[in-house]
Structure 1
Amino acid sequence: MNRKIKPALLAAGCFTLGAFAMKVAEDKITVPMLQQAQQLMGLHFTNAQLDSATTELEDFKAGYERIRKVALPNEVAPAITFNPIPVGFEWPKEKEKFKVDLPKKVKLPANKEELAYYSIPQLAALIKSKQISSEELTTFYLNRLKQYGPTLECVTTLTEELALQQARQADKEIKAGKYKGMLHGIPFGVKDLLATKNYKTTWGAEPYKDQQLNLNATVVERLQNAGGVLVAKLTLGALAMGDVWYGGKTKSPWDLSKGSSGSSAGSASAVAAGLLPYAIGTETLGSIVSPSTACGTTGLRPTFGRVSRHGAMALSWSMDKIGPITRSAEDAAIVFNAIYGPDGKDLSVYDAPFNYSSKIDAKKLRVGYLKKDFEGKYGFKENDQQALEDLKKAGIELVPIELPDLPANDLVMTISVEGAAAFDELTRSGKDSMLKQQHKGAWPNIFRAGRFIPAVEYIQAQRVRTLLVQQMQEKLKDIDVYISPSFGSSNLVVTNLTGHPCVVVPTGFQKNGMPTTITFMGKLFGEAEALALAKLYQDLTPYEEKHPTAFLSKK
């Protein structure tokens, strides 16, 4: 190379070097930057201490860039799994036979529209006795979904071709004497964050509305193996929050001016309107409880680690749970019995039995209630109090209890951090701007804010969560089930963090005609007892048999 560099090239080289130096200066971590950053965290390191940290932080930052180059699709879970099991806790080891009897003398109604609100056992009795075929029943529900689904905005995709194929197969099996049980030939729908082969799985969000995943979620597979007929993918608020999805806002069938709440918006709306006998929802922080309240359905949020989330969109790996939305506690038990247990794919799932039986004597259960929360500050006071009175009249002794005194609401940062990680690429690519909701409480802002939560504070929050798990064990040591208002109370937050199961059931109506609910809380893996008490309550009251009509007037 000629050592006599031309002036023009020298100038160009200086410009290039200058630009590079400016780039380095922009990227370099400096003490003033760290002074600003530590204010976000409430820290007070000296300038000398901050200066000493800069080299390590530069290395971390370079590491972030290398890690970002590794493909991490949503289904890849962290190497850390939440453990809801307190020290000293044991679940029953013996698995007993699931027992729900088929009703006798069920007749096909003269007005077939009445089938819309038949229970799973009633429909099963009709199919088993061949009074109606699975194909006829499937066509009936497909027609209702086509007729009223657009009004309620509760369907993302009808799986009609698959449904009719599965229904015909069910009819052949039943005719050949290969009856699989109560779900055989019964149509169902799933929240559209559960993967289904050959159909879109949209997560309710604009950036994913054409997404197709080449697998069936474990829950979908298990229901189909039980003979179930998948007829629809149902709406959810975008990325599992609220009831606003890329196609609109899902409605409550009780009042079309009101949303069905979220995020299992379509599942609750469709079941309440009799468009399906049951559907699958998910909950991270109220997404089964809330739409069940807005729509007057019965929802089961199982214990964390009960149902495989393989094939389900991840929002919070340590808090996501999958459960059924139905019209009764017994229906919920039937569906749950088909979907729970390990699959070898979701390593957070425990092999604990579900020993539900219609022979469980709910009156012998030890029942607590959150006394202070029923004093009018939370929930729906008049209907909540009436529910307690109905149970007392039935011979249930209610023991007052309190929840642990720990800052549970502050631990909700868990969702912000894990959600920001689950949708890291969405945020960094700028595609979060495609989401319809862009207000301060919407996902784009929450995911951005979540990136500023220090890893140390997240870990500290999980350590407090460990204390919460342990203290809940102590609070419930003499209780089988306890009762809570569905909303307002910190119970919803606490138990989603600890992983406890709940059954939410309708208790009547508000003055504006919208439904109200109450929540039956189980011990860890205590779904059977919570469902048994919920069934007792529903046997005493008529509310799960009330059906909306507002959606019928607009077609």
Structure 2
Amino acid sequence: MLKKLLPALLLGAAGFGAGALVARPTAAEPVTVPLLRAAQELLGLHFTDAQLDSAKGAIGRNRSSYEELRKINLPNTVAPTLVFDPVPLRLRLAPAAGKPGPDRMAPIGKIKMPTNRDDLAFYTVRQLGELLRTKQVSSVELTDFFLARLRKYSPKLECVTTLTEELAHQQARAADAEIKAGHYRGPLHGIPFGVKDLFSTKTYKTTWGSVPYKEQMLDEDAAVVTRLRDAGAVLVAKFTLGELAMGDVWYGGQTRSPWDIKQGSSGSSAGSASAVGAGLVPFALGTETLGSIVSPSTACGATGLRPTFGQVSRAGAMALSWSMDKVGPLTRSAEDCALVFRAIQGEDPRDVATLLRPRAAADFRCAFDTDVKKLRVGYLKADFESKYPSQGTDKATLDALRKLGVELVPLDLHNLPAGELTFLLSAEGAAAFDDLTRSGRDALMVNQGRNAWPTTFRAARFVPAVEYLQAQRARRVLIEDVDKRLLGLDAYVGPSFNSPSLVITNLTGHPAVVVPNGMRPNGLPATITFTGQLYGEAKLLALAKAYQDATDFDEKHPPLNF
């Protein structure tokens, strides 16, 4: 029956390539009423035989169109013409924002070199930037320091795909020369960093964490790599990701948490989180589609920012879901997130999503002079009150916020149609990796289980185009509903996982910052998540920084006794 169903599902769905599932027939099976009758049962349709007979000619013509379209080379870099717009009507119609002022940073005081040079591993970006600006340390020295740590610890953490030593030394020498000449580019000038290995780099492989792509060379630098280079930062490594941006298992092994190398780092920004948590780099870039910054930041004790959808260009990055992929930094602090985000955000004609920002949203500027007592912050009351492993640490976070004078307002995000929409990710991923599936090369991937990408992509071929579009329409309703619930709030706080917020906001495009707030019973860090209004990263990061200034969880480091 399955063999008979497949050709029919090809016709009624968004497109099906048999690939590794079944051998492609030399001649297409004729479209018949019995075939369509069987197919419609799987799709939950109930047309009469007469209706199916009337439609079979058009269905056959559609199949011919699919076959012709499959002859067109569509690499992963080609995005669909349908562009996701996260902006609710209220914000789209709001008056234009004024020109942003300068960055407003908190005082930092005088930063000195530590007595124990190894302590540099856990200095923040801003602290290291001050050491570079005041010429207490050179970029070459910092680069060599972090490269040495990468060589020492990354084999056990399994967090690196490529060390970019030659490029790093070139960039570090250039940074030192510019700083010496008085051409200081800003707080990232001379700072070593790494990127998730789904961002393309001209002279180094971009493996996407998967066997079929482990030798892949792409002749471009990703937009964010270019922007960080322009800010003077020094690329020292490309970090692991779970295969094609899922989990922490990649072609070379499983990336580990620096807090306990018997446990995985989670993913998919696995290596970025592990390296930052272990002090192997001051910051790294990751991506999130459905938890890939929040989850590994939690497992590794990093602070991670998932910006508003469209705030950071994805040009030159592997596409998984064009309507959900987002790029953000993983760092030691909310302040560091702001400094990196400031450098990478902005419009890019190569990523149309970056051009959709409404006129009411001003360019990002750091706003660390924000009085958090004047912020109105929601909290997911019902979720905090349910029982879950890190409930105690989360309750302490709410107490700390109240002590800061933050007004906490109960908020409920339940009874929203979010979980039912997550098949959108699978459908877009299946399109992004259409050739991988139809060619059968997905059999080379490490993960082959029921929940792994090969199976998920095959299953997604059965999603009808009509249902995909209906889900996107329901997503618009979700966006408007969430906007109404958040009206009047500057941000809200919720459990990182014990709530529907993670799924909802990845679908609506809202920004979030995840910060450490204690330890879990399993010995790994716990986190809390602050979520902001669309394009509200300035207030969001100011709130997170205020919490981190009042606590010391972001200053805790793993012993690295392995």
Identify which range, 42-51 or 160-169, moves more after superposition. Answer: 42-51
Q: What SS class does the counterpart of residue 349 from structure 1 fall into? A: helix
Give 2:432's match in structure 1, choosing from 411, 422, 430. Answer: 422
Q: Is the 8 A contact 1:263 1:288 kept in 2?
A: yes
Q: Distance in 2 between matches of 1:377 and 1:339?
A: 39
Deviation of 1:111 (Å) = 1.3
Matched with 1:271 is: 276
Q: TM-score, normalised by structure 2?
A: 0.93
Aligned to 2:13: none
What 5-or-longer segments of structure 1 have no aligned partner? 1-21
Cross-structure match for 1:183 = 188
8 Å Cα contact 1:95/1:353 also seen in 2: yes
Counting aligned pairs with the same residue, the percent is 60
Matching residue's letter, 1:542: D
Residue in structure 2 matched with residue 465 of structure 1 by the alignment: 475
Partner of 1:525: 535
Which of 484, 487, 504 is the equivalent residue of 2:494? 484
Aligned mates of 1:380, 1:54 — CA distance in 2? 56
Shift of 1:345: 1.2
Within 5 Å, give how 1:125-524 maps onto structure 2: 125-350=130-355, 351=357, 352-378=362-388, 380-403=390-413, 405-524=415-534
CA distance in 2, matches of 1:307, 1:29: 46
Deviations along 1:214-262, whole A, 9 cap, x unmatched?
1010000000100000000000000000000000000000011100000
1:264-314 superposed Cα distances (whole Å, 9 cap, x missing partner): 000000000000000000000000000001011100000001000000000
Q: Deviations over 1:417-468 (max 9, x none)?
A: 1000000000000000000000000000000000001000010000000001
In 2, are the aligned partners of 1:328 and 1:544 still within 8 Å (CA)?
A: yes
- Alpha-carbon separation, structure 1, partners of 2:479 and 2:365: 23
Q: Secondary structure at the match of 1:146?
A: helix
Alpha-carbon distance in structure 1 between the residues aligned to 2:485 and 2:190:
43
Q: CA deviation at 1:105?
A: 2.1
Larger displacement relative to structure 2 (39-48 or 455-464): 39-48
Q: In structure 2, what is the Cα distance between the partners aligned to 1:87 and 1:527?
A: 20
CA contact (8 A) 2:414 2:500 kept: no
| Cα distance between partner residues in 2 of 1:397 and 1:553 | 42
Kept after mapping to 2: 8 A contact 1:427/1:444: yes
Where 1:398 maps in the other structure, the secondary structure is strand
State the Cα distance separating 1:95 from its structure 2 match.
1.7
Q: Which moved more, 1:405-414 or 1:321-330?
A: 405-414
How far is the alpha carbon of 1:396 from its aligned partner? 1.3
Contact 2:106-2:369 at 8 Å conserved across structures = no
Shift of residue 361, structure 1, vs aligned partner: 1.3
CA contact (8 A) 1:31 1:47 kept: yes
What is the TM-score with the length of structure 1 in the denominator?
0.94
Partner SS for 2:309: coil
Match of 1:79 in 2: 81
CA contact (8 A) 2:282 2:331 kept: yes
- Looking at structure 1, the residues matched to 205 and 442 of structure 2 have their Cα atoms a distance apart, in angstroms, of 20
Instruction: Spell out, residue by residue over 1:311-330, the C-alpha distance to the aligned partner (whole angstroms, 9 max, x if none).
Output: 00000000000000001000
What amino acid does structure 2 have at the position aligned with 1:132? V
Instruction: Indicate the SS of the match to 1:241.
Output: coil
3-state SS of the aligned residue for 1:553? coil
- Write the distance in 1 (CA, Å) between the matches of 2:324 and 2:513: 17
Q: Secondary structure at the match of 1:464?
A: helix
For residue 211 of structure 1, report the CA deviation from its aligned partner.
Answer: 0.2
Separation in 1, partners of 2:55, 2:541: 55
> Cα offset for 1:72?
0.4
CA contact (8 A) 1:92 1:353 kept: no
1:176 deviates by 0.4
Q: CA deviation at 1:378?
A: 4.9
> Aligned-pair distance for 1:377?
4.1
Q: Is the 8 A contact 1:378 1:487 kept in 2?
A: no
Rounded to whole Å, the distance in 1 between the matches of 2:388 and 2:56 is 49
- Compute the RMSD of aligned alpha carbons: 1.3
Q: What SS does the corresponding residue of 1:77 show, helix, strand or coil?
A: coil
Q: Quick one: distance in 2 between partners of 1:230 and 1:59?
A: 51
| Correspondence for 1:68 | 70
What is the distance in 2 between the residues matched to 1:94 and 1:439?
51
Distance 1:102 1:430 in 2: 57
Specify the alignment match of 2:19 in structure 1. none
The 8 Å contact of residues 198 and 208 in structure 2, kept in 1 or not, is answered as yes
Structure 2 stretches lacking a partner, 5+ long: 1-24
Contact 2:389 2:521 in 1 (8 A): no
- How many residues are treated as equivalent by the alignment? 530
Deviations 1:469-501 (A, max 9, x none): 011111111100101100031110000000000
Greater Cα shift, 44-53 or 373-382: 373-382
Structure with more contact order per residue of length (Cα contacts < 8 Å, sep ≥ 6): 2
Which residue of 2 is the match for residue 553 of structure 1? 561
Tell me by how many angstroms 1:379 deviates. Answer: 6.2
Amino acid at match of 1:263: S
- How many Å separate the matches in 1 of 2:82 and 2:543? 35
Q: Corresponding residue for 1:99?
A: 104
Q: Deviations over 1:358-408 (max 9, x none)?
A: 211122111111100101245621111111011112211210011263321
State how far apart, in whole Å, the 2-side matches of 1:44 and 1:220 are.
51
Alpha-carbon distance in structure 2 between the residues aligned to 1:365 and 1:193: 37
How far apart in 2 are the matches of 1:23 and 1:526?
55
Cα deviations by residue, 1:53-109 (Å, 9 ceiling, x for unpaired): 111111011100110111101010000000101012147342221232573321111
Aligned to 1:15: none
> Which whole-Å CA distance do the structure 2 matches of 1:404 and 1:78 have between them?
32
Between stretches 333-342 and 374-383, larger displacement belongs to: 374-383
Which shifted more, 257-266 or 372-381? Answer: 372-381
Contact (CA 8 Å) 1:253, 1:548: kept in 2 or not?
Answer: yes
SS in 2 for 1:279: strand
Instruction: Give the aligned partner of residue 115 of structure 2.
Output: 110
